[in-house]
Amino acid sequence: MQRSLHIDPNKCTGCRQCEMACSYEQEGIFNPSKSRIRVFMFDAEARFVPYTCTQCAEAWCMLACPVDAIKVDLNTGAKVVHENLCVGCKVCTIACPFGTINYMSDRGKVMKCDLCGGDPACAKACPTQAITYIDADWTGLERMRVWAKKTDAGATATH
81/41 same-domain check:
no
**Domain range for 97:** 55-112
Q: How many CA atoms lie within 13 A of 154 on its CB side?
A: 6
47/61 same-domain check:
no
pTM over 0.95: no
pLDDT at 1: 64
Domain of 133: which CATH number? 3.30.70.20
Q: Give how many domains the chain has, as a whole number.
A: 2
For the stretch 51-64, pLDDT in tens is 999 999 899 999 99
In a domain, 72, yes or no: yes
Beta carbons within 8 Å of 16's beta carbon, 6+ residues apart: 32, 39
One-letter identity of residue 20: M
Contact criterion met (CB below 8 Å) for 49 and 131: no
For the stretch 65-104, pLDDT in tens is 999 999 999 999 999 999 999 999 999 999 999 999 999 9
106/59 same-domain check:
yes
For the stretch 23-75, pLDDT in tens is 999 999 999 999 999 999 998 888 999 999 999 989 999 999 999 999 999 99
In a domain, 143, yes or no: yes
